[in-house]
Amino acid sequence: MKNLVKIFVIIFLLWAITLSAGSVVSAQSGKVASFVLNSTALQNTGGEDPNRKVSIYLPPNYDASSERYPVIYYLHGFMGKDNISPQMQKILDESIIRQKIRPFIFVQADHYTLFEGSFYSNSSLTGNWDEFESKELVDYIDKNYRTLANKESRGIAGHSMGGYGAFKIGMLHPEVFSSIYALSPGLLAMVKEFGPNSNSFKEAQNIKSAEELKKTYYPKVLVAAARAWSPNPNKPPFYCDFPFSYEGNKMIINQTILDKWEANMPVYMVDKYADNLRKLTAIKLDWGRNDSPRFPVQIGMLSQRLENLGINHFSEEYIGDHGNKIWTIDGRVLNDLLPFFNDYLKF
């Protein structure tokens, strides 16, 4: 009989421990919510939907507390959307569990367009995506969630096209954001695969339909960028201009359009906005050693220009390609990006 009682006691204790462990896991898990923001800034003539889905990660115990939190605005890459995947949530949870960063709010909005990316830029054709991200969205989040509503508690980050957007928007709006982390930022300059002597502009010039364009990659990126930076309402089917055109192997430069593109590419912008960059608390750029050839070249160009202007920043190459070391346990978000914001945001 005594042995039977002991067995029941052991079973009860194991059950209690299991319940307790479950409670700990629950307490350490944040939650992801989403909403649709009807944007005034994104009213447009280019066929883009101004209703934008936004996903938000709220830290563990958000609903049970009255605490206010800093916010990281994360910009997705080309072809991406707002979705915070289970793997992303796992990394965000792990960052708090492992004390890589104190509890925070994480926001990701949908910048997917007809040609798969807004380039986070204001456009007379597709809408004002910079204004949407840096003003409308920030105002909405501050009004509807318990944020620390000041620039010292706001960081902006992103990957690839999102890294481009994070650097550009952060540079243009030091009154809104205090810190920038750009993961493998793209289209900082026209080099390599997007240089004038690559095949990319030549291919884009010869594509005559949306169906044909959507089967490509580099030409599709160029059309998306052109609709953002050099729209032309009188030039169907894509309603945009390119800085380069070709007659056989002869390249023709459209200087007016080239000026518009360079006015939107950070390598060529930083001289004009150097004082804005100096107002920021911290800037970091990184890239994978085994990424596509354009990334180390253009990020190196930007880092060198920042150094020449006396703008303090971090610039780091790591062993990886364009995506294999981003949202992983051994990746950049968990081990570098979030600790960076832990150090430089005001909690």
Residue 18 lies in a domain: no
Contacts of residue 5, Cβ cutoff 8 Å, sequence gap at least 6: none
Task: Return d(Cα 4, Cα 11) in angstroms, integer.
Answer: 11
Positive or negative, the CA dihedral 302, 156, 124, 273 is negative
Res 27: pLDDT = 56
Tell me whether residue 42 is in a domain: yes
Domain's final residue, options 202, 223, 257: 257
Q: Are residues 175 and 65 in the same domain?
A: yes
pLDDT over threshold 90, residue 10: no
Q: In terms of domains, do 94 and 127 share one?
A: yes
For residue 327 the two structure tokens come to 């949202």
Print burial letters for 244-270: b (CB count within 10 Å at least 16), e (below 16). bbeeeeeeeeeeebbebbeebbbbbbb
**11 falls within a domain:** no
pLDDT value at position 26? 42
Residues 125 and 252 in one domain: no
Other Cβ atoms closer than 10 A to 232:
16
pLDDT number for residue 18:
40
Indicate whether 166 belongs to any domain: yes
Query: How do residues 173-193 score in pLDDT, each as one tens digit?
Result: 999 999 999 999 999 999 999
Residue 302 lies in a domain: yes
Residues in the chain: 347
Which residues, 6 or more positions from 44, have their beta carbon under 8 angstroms from its beta carbon? 50, 123, 125, 126, 127
Confidence of residue 249 (pLDDT cuts 50, 70, 90): confident
Calpha distance 333→16 (Å, rounded)? 35
Q: Residue 286 sits in a domain of what CATH number?
A: 3.40.50.1820
More confident residue, 225 or 21: 225
CB atoms within 10 A of CB 340: 24
Asked if 287 and 184 touch (Cβ cutoff 8 Å), the reply is yes
Is residue 210 in some structural domain? Answer: yes
Q: What is the mean pLDDT of residues 61-71?
A: 96
Question: Looking at the structure, do residues 224 and 295 belong to the same domain, yes or no?
Answer: no
As given in the structure block, the two tokens for residue 96 are: 């708090």
Q: pLDDT tens-digit profile of 18-32? A: 433 333 334 589 999
Domain assignment present for 212: yes
| Cα distance between residue 146 and residue 70, in whole Å | 9
Pair type for strands 282-288 and 244-247:
unpaired
Domain membership of residue 239 (yes or no) is: yes
174 cis-preceded (ω within 30 degrees of 0): no
Calpha distance 285→171 (Å, rounded): 13
Do 152 and 66 lie in a common domain?
Answer: yes
Q: Once rounded to an integer, what is the mean pLDDT over residues 117-134?
A: 98
* 171 in Cβ contact with 158 (< 8 Å): no
By the 8 A CB rule, do 241 and 230 touch? yes
pLDDT of residue 11: 41
Whether the per-residue pLDDT at 72 is higher than 50: the answer is yes
Q: Is the pLDDT at 346 greater than 50, yes or no?
A: yes
Are residues 76 and 175 located together in one domain of the fold? yes
Domain that holds residue 165: 32-189+266-344
Last residue of a domain, one of 257, 284, 301: 257
Listed in order, strand segments (DSSP E) in 49-171 are: 51-58, 71-75, 105-109, 122-123, 127-128, 154-159
306 and 241 belong to one structural domain: no
pLDDT in tens, 74-103: 999 999 999 999 999 999 999 999 999 999
Global pTM reads: 0.91
- When divided into structural domains, the chain yields a total of 2
Q: What ranges in 189-327 are assigned the alpha helix state H?
A: 200-205, 210-213, 218-229, 255-262, 266-269, 274-278, 294-308
> Collapsing DSSP states into helix, strand and coil, what is residue 64?
coil
Per the CB < 8 A criterion, the answer to whether 52 and 34 are in contact is no
